[in-house]
């Protein structure tokens, strides 16, 4: 049986809330951790290599604040099999 561990949520930076980069006063519950500021993942998960552990989608050489990484779902953590895949 796999063991699980508590890791900080990458998408909100462990705050449980996110702000719109254009409107700092607009705060929302983090969609990746549901406001808990952490995620529970299998112990063998590593930092996601697609988003470099930020939880944000990498698009055309920059990170897009409002879009979650498709690989890790915004948590910043992914299975080693996904993180070790070779670029096409």
Mean pLDDT across the chain:
82
Q: Per-residue pLDDT for 81 more than 80? A: no
- Left if phi > 0, otherwise alpha if psi is -120 to 50, otherwise beta: which for 14? left
Tracing tokens 């979650």 back to the chain, one arrives at: 68
pLDDT at res. 51: 86
Beta carbons of 69 and 56 less than 8 angstroms apart? yes
pLDDT of residue 2: 72
Contact 32, 10 (CB under 8 A): yes
In a domain, 32, yes or no: yes
Helix ranges, 13-65 (H): none
Decide if 37 is inside a domain: yes
Instruction: State if pTM tops 0.75.
Output: no
Range of the domain at 11: 4-83
pLDDT tens digits, 38-67 = 999 999 999 998 888 989 887 666 656 668
Residue 67, in any domain of the structure? yes
User: Is residue 63 domain-resident?
Assistant: yes
18 touches 12 (CB < 8 A):
yes
Q: How many domains are there within the chain?
A: 1
């Amino acid at each position: 049986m796999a063991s699980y561990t508590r890791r900080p949520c990458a998408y909100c930076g462990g705050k449980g809330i996110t702000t719109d980069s254009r409107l700092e006063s607009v705060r929302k519950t983090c969609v990746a951790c549901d406001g808990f500021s952490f995620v529970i993942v299998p112990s063998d998960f590593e930092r996601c290599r697609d988003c470099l552990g930020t939880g944000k989608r990498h698009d055309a050489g920059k990170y897009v604040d409002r879009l979650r990484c498709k690989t890790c779902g915004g948590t910043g953590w992914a299975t080693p099999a996904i993180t070790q895949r070779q670029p096409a």
